[in-house]
Amino acid sequence: MEIQEIKQRLPILKVLSHYNLKPDKNNRLCCPFHPDKMPSFQVYPETGTWTCFSSNCSAGSGDQVDFIMRKEGITKHLAILKAQELMGETGEPGPQKAKPAPEKKPIKELPEERTAILTEAFTHFARSLNKRPENAIKYLESRKLDYKRLSIGFDAGTLHKTKETTLGQKQFYLQAGLLKPDKFGRENSYYTRFNGCIVFPLLDRSKNIVSMYGRHTEKQEHHYLEGDHRGLYPGYPEAETTRLILTEAVIDAATLLQLSEITKDFAILALYGTNGFTEDHRKAITELNNLKEVILFFDGDQAGEEAVKSIAGELKQISEKLLITVVGTPEGEDINSLAQGHESEIFSHLLESRKPFLFSIEDFSVENKKVQGSTVINLPEHQKTGSLKVKPDCLVYGTERLQITLWGGIDIHCVNRLRVTLHIKLKSNEYASFRDTADLYSNSQSDRLIKQAAEKLETSSTIVSEAITGLTKELEIYRSGKREEKRKGEQVKEQQGKDLFNRDQMQAAKDFLNQSTLTENTYKLFGSLGLIGEQDNATLLFFIFLTRFFKNPLHAIVMGSTGSGKTYLLQGVAAAVPRQHIHVTTSLSENTLYYTPQDFLKHKILLQEDLDGAYSALLPLRELMSNQSISRFSTKTNSRTGDSKQVYLHVEGPVCVAGATTKDKIYEDNANRSFLLQIEENPRHEAEVLEYQGKIAAGLVSTKKYEGSINLLKACQLLIEPMEVIIPFAPKLELPPHVFKKMRTKNHYLTLIKAVTLWNQHQRKRSTDREGNIFLISTLDDVEWANYLCRDALLRKSDELGGKTRNFFESLKELIKEWNVKTFYAKEIRRHYRMHPMELQRRLNELEARGLLRCVSRSNKPGNEYEIMIWDDYEQLRSGIDIMGTILDNLKKDEKEPSH
C-alpha cells in the first residue's frame, strides 16, 4: 500500500488515540517525544500532520507513519505495516506479521435505555439534594436558587456506591458517561462525572432526560456529558409560545424560572454558553409557529455582546419576520448576579427597556455564521473565490489552493488604503509559505506581492493574483460592514445616553406642570428625595440648573466641611436632570475647555464634583461663567512641512457651572459669580441624616417611589419651552443694604425670579413684541418663592465672615449662653469642640480682628481668656434681609389698589 493512501485513509487522531493521546480543543498536547509541561505538540487533522514547536525536541514534523516510527522506535517499513494494522488491513506476509485480533465492539446503547439510565441517575441526584448537604444548600442560597421550586439535583459522588447498584448498572452508568474510570487504572474503581455539582436535566421534545448539565459548588467549573450537546433546558417551549427569552447559561434560565411575573408572559430557553446555540435550539424555535419575538438576555460583557450578534444572525436565518430584541444587561453583570444584588423588579424593568437588535452588515449582503469559533463572511455567488474567517488576532482567507492569514486585521477607519500583513501558504505543502506587508490599493505593491509570492511558493502567478483579488473584495465588504456596525453602535450609545420616557410618563409630567401650586409641589418633591435637611438648598439648586435655558444662566458653589454632604447634594439634584442636559466630571483641565466640541456646552450643566479637580482651569472657567464664551490663540505645526500657524479656539455657552469645595477663600473669584450654598452642619441635622441612613439599610425607603419622582422631574424639564421672561416690577425690587457686590448679586436675584417663572410657564401670562417674540410675565408669587429660596444665600453674601467662621461664632454664642459665663478660655472651647488648636486659633484671631471678640488676658498656662463683644451682628444682617419681604408686601398692596 502506498504511503499517500495510508495518509488519506488513516486519520492522525486515530493514531494518537491508539497511544492514549488526546489533543485539546485547539489540537495541541504535550509532546510524547520529550519532557513537556506546556503543550508544544500541534496536530493538523486536515492534513494528517504534526509538528513539535519546542526547541528542546528533535522530532520536528511528520505524518502518521513518521509518528508511529518515532513512537515505536522501528524502521519506516515496520511503521507502514503498523499503520496498515491500525487501518484493519494486512500488509505483505512475513514471519513477523501477526493477524490482528478482532476488534471488540461496544454494546450498542438504545435511546430508551439511555433515557432510563439518566432518569434513574437524576432521581438519585434529586434525593441527594433533599438531604440538604451543607455545601450544596449554601451554594444555592448564594445563587438565589430555590431547589424546592426548581427541578435540580446534587451529585454527592455516591451514584455507584449504593447497595442497590449492581455491576451491570455501573457499566450502564459508565457507558452513559455518568461515571469515569479510576484515574490510576484500578479495576472496578470509578468516580462520578458531576461530583460536587448541582445537576440540571436537559430534556427532549417528549420531556425525557437525554443529557445533563452540572455546575460545581466550590470551583468555577461546569460540566456536560461527553459528546454533542443534547436536549434543552428547561425543555422545549410550548407550541403556543409567542415571546421567548434566550439566556446565555442554564443557571440564568433557572433564575428567571422562579419569577412568576416573567414566566406568565415569556417562555425561557437556555443556551450552553456564548457558542452554545445547538441544532436542538434551532429545531425548537423553528417549530414555534406562533413565535413573534425572541429576546436575547445575555451577560453584560464583551463576550455577551459578541454572542448577541452571532445568535441574532442565527435567528434571522430561521425567520426574516422574527422580531429580535436585546436586553441591556448592566456592564459586568449577568442574570444571576442581578438576582443576588437587586429585587426581582429589576428584571421587569430591564425587559420593558429592551430594544430591537440592529443588524450591522445586512446592508452589504453579508451573512454572519459561526464556524469553529470563527465568523465566516459569505459573498454572493459571483464573488465566491474563498471564505473569510474573523478570529481575535487575525483574518484568515482561503481558496482551493492557498491559505492567507492577515495578522492584526485591517484598519477600518482609513478607506483610502488597504495595508495588510500577509502570510500566504500552499494547502498542499504547509512548509511553503510567504510573508510580506503591502497596500492592496497600490498597483505596484500588489504586482510585486503577486510576483514574489508566486516565485517563493513555486505556483502560478494567476492563482496568487486571483486569490489577492478575491481577498481584496472580501476585505472591502468586511470593512464596510464594520464601519456601518460602528456607526450604528455610536447611534445606539448616543440614544442610551439620553433619558427617554413613554407616553404615560410624559402625560404625567404635563399634568404636574399644569398644577396651580407647581412651585410648592416641586419643593415638597425635593423633600422626599432623601436630601435630609437640604430641601431649601436642593430646590434652589434645581432652579439654578433651570437657568441653563437662558442666555446668561446662574452658577452655584456648594460649600461645607469634609464629609458634610456637599457632593451628595450636588449628585442628588443632578439626578433629577435629564442626562442629555448635564455633563458630570471629576477632573477638568484648561485644554479640555478650549478644545470642547461645538455646542457641547450650549444650554448644558457642567458639574464639577470638586473644584480641586479643576484648579488648573479656574481662569477659563471663571470667564466662561461671566461671558458665556472663552477664546485663545494656539500654535499648530504642520507635520509634513514643519510650518506653524495660529489657530483661533473659541468655545461658546451658555452653560451653567456648579461645583463643591471646602476652600471658599481660594475660590473667591469663582464664588463671586455664583450662588453660595452652605451645607447645614449641626448636631440636629447630623442625627436626622443618621436616622435616614438606618432606614435605607433596613429597607424602609422605597426606591421605586424615589425613581418615580426623579423621572417625573426629568420628564417635566424635557417639556419646558425656553422663553425670555419679563419682570414688570423689577425696578422696585431692592437688595439688603449689607450685600457685597450688589450689581452682580442683583442680576443673580432677578435671574432666579425668571427661573421660577419659566418653571411655571403654563400658569403665567404671555406677551408678544412687534417682532413676534413671546415673553413670560413674572408674578409676585415668583418673587416670593425666589426671596424664600435665596434668603440664606444673600445672607452669606452680606456677611463679612466666611461660612465656617460664621457657623463657629454662632455656635460659640449658644455655648456661652448655655454655660452662663461672661468670659471663656480658648482651651475650654477647644476641648468642647475637639478642634485642632491651629484651626481654633485662626477662628479666634479672625473674630478678634473684626472686633467681635476681645482678648481679656493672655497667658500661656491657663490660656487666653476671651469675651464676646457683639452678640447681635447676625440678627442685624437677618433684619436687613427683611427689606425684601417689606418690598414684596408693598407690591402686593399696590397690586390690589386699582381694584378698589
Query: Do the Cβ atoms of 751 and 729 come closer than 8 Å?
Result: no
Does 154 share its domain with 45? no
Q: Helix, strand, or coil here: 175?
A: helix
For the segment 105-132, the average pLDDT, to the nearest whole number, is 74
Whether the CB-CB separation of 170 and 160 falls below 8 Å is answered with: yes
Q: Does residue 144 belong to any structural domain of this protein?
A: yes
Average pLDDT over residues 248-268: 91
Q: How many CB atoms lie under 10 A from the CB of residue 280?
A: 22
In a domain, 466, yes or no: yes
The model's pTM: 0.52
Instruction: Indicate the residue among 301, 322, 357 that finishes a domain.
Output: 357
pLDDT range class, residue 376, cuts 50, 70, 90: very low
Q: Which range among 97-111, 136-150, 341-355 has the greatest average pLDDT?
A: 136-150
Q: What is the CATH number of the domain that holds 60?
A: 3.90.580.10
| Residues 520 and 667 grouped into a single domain | yes
Q: What is the dihedral of CA 215, 221, 227, 230, to 10 degrees?
A: 30
> Is 71 part of a structural domain of the chain?
yes
The residue range of the domain holding 517 is 505-709
Residue 625: all three cell numbers together: 461663567
Query: Cell 422631574 sits at which residue?
Result: 713
Most confident of 180-194, 399-413, 488-502: 399-413
User: Is 352 in the same domain as 369?
Assistant: no
What b/e sequence results for 645-672 when a residue is b if at least 16 CB atoms lie within 10 Å of its CB, and e otherwise? eeeeeebbbbbbbbbbbbebeebeebbb
Q: Do both 268 and 130 map to the same domain?
A: no
Mean pLDDT computed over every residue of the chain: 83
In the block, residue with C-alpha cell 420628564: 715
Of 313, 330, 357, the domain-final residue: 357
> Residue 285: how many CA atoms within 13 Å on its side-chain side?
29
- The closest alpha carbon to 670, from 619, 603, 596, 726, belongs to 619
| Burial (CB count within 10 angstroms: exposed 0-12, middle 13-18, buried 19+), residue 403 | middle
Q: What is the pLDDT of residue 75?
A: 78
By the 8 A CB rule, do 267 and 245 touch?
yes
Based on the domain organization, do 112 and 69 belong to the same domain? no
**Exposed, middle or buried: residue 830 (CB in 10 Å: 0-12, 13-18, 19+)?**
middle
- Residue 176 has, within 13 A of its CA and on its CB side, a CA count of 28
Q: Which of 188-197, 409-418, 483-492, 873-882 has the lowest mean pLDDT?
A: 873-882
SS3 453: helix
Structure confidence at residue 552 (pLDDT): 92
- How does residue 164 score in pLDDT terms, banded at 50, 70 and 90? low
* Angle made by CA atoms 882, 885, 890, in degrees to the nearest 5: 130
What's the pLDDT score for residue 382?
Answer: 31
487 and 400 housed in the same domain: yes
- Terminal C-alpha separation, the chain: 125
CB distance 720 to 681 below 8 Å: no
Place of cell 418653571: 759
Give residue 386's pLDDT: 55
Highest mean pLDDT among 317-331, 368-382, 470-484, 507-521: 507-521
pLDDT digits (tens, 9 = 90+) for 519-563: 999 999 998 888 888 889 999 999 999 999 999 999 998 988 887
Residue 260 sits in the same domain as residue 206: no
**R_g of the chain, CA atoms, integer Å:** 39
| C-beta separation of 677 from 497 below 8 A | no
Estimate to the nearest angstrom the gap between the alpha carbon of 753 and the chain centroid. 41
Q: Are residues 258 and 342 in the same domain?
A: yes
When mean pLDDT is compared over 100-109, 180-189, 338-347, the highest value belongs to: 338-347
- Give a yes or no: residue 783 inside a domain: no
Is the pLDDT at 168 greater than 80? The verdict is no
Place of cell 508544544: 40
Report the C-alpha gap between 350 and 362 in whole angstroms.
Answer: 27
In a shared domain, residues 525 and 640: yes
Q: What is the structure's pLDDT at 159?
A: 81
Predicted confidence (pLDDT) at residue 190 exceeds the cutoff of 80:
no
Measured between alpha carbons, how far is 629 from 651 in angstroms, rounded to an integer?
A: 6
* Distance separating alpha carbons of residues 444 and 442, to the nearest angstrom: 6
Domain boundary among 194, 227, 260: 227
**What is the pLDDT, as a whole number, of residue 167?**
72
Number of structural domains in the chain: 6
Q: Is residue 878 included in any domain, yes or no?
A: no
Residues 439-461 pLDDT 10s = 999 999 999 999 999 988 888 88
What does the pLDDT read at residue 379? 36
Position 737, amino acid: P
Range with top average pLDDT, 347-356, 388-397, 539-548, 735-744: 539-548
Same domain for 510 and 627, yes or no, is yes
pLDDT in tens, 123-146: 888 888 888 888 899 999 888 998
Task: Return the top range by mean pLDDT from 131-140, 218-227, 758-767.
Answer: 758-767
287: CATH? 3.40.1360.10
Based on the number of CB atoms within 10 Å of its own CB, is 327 exposed (0-12), middle (13-18) or buried (19 or more)?
buried
**2 falls in which pLDDT band (50, 70, 90)?**
low
Please indicate, yes or no, if residue 787 is contained in any of the structural domains.
no
CATH number at residue 155: 3.90.980.10
Query: Is the same domain home to 346 and 248?
Result: yes
Cα separation values, 704 from 28, 474, 587, 898, Å: 54, 51, 32, 50
Per DSSP, the residues of 212-278 read: EEEEESSSS-EEE-SSS--SBSS-SPPTT--EEEEESSHHHHHHHHT-HHHHTT-EEEE-SSTT---
Q: Are residues 298 and 386 in the same domain?
A: no
The mean pLDDT value for 71-81 works out to 81
Nearest residue to 342 via CA among 703, 811, 97: 703
Residues 468 and 445: beta-carbon distance below 8 Å: no
Q: Residue 734, SS3?
A: coil
pLDDT over threshold 80, residue 89: no
Q: Helices 535-546 and 742-759: crossing angle, nearest 10°? A: 90
Give pLDDT, residue 104. Answer: 36
Lowest mean pLDDT among 45-59, 201-215, 235-249: 45-59
Q: Is residue 745 part of a domain?
A: no
Q: Is residue 427 part of a domain?
A: yes
> Cα 513 vs. chain centroid, distance in angstroms?
34
The Cα 437–Cα 268 span in angstroms is 49
Lowest mean per-residue pLDDT among 153-157, 304-308, 883-887? 883-887
Considering 29-38, 391-400, 507-516, 677-686, the range whose residues carry the highest mean pLDDT is: 507-516
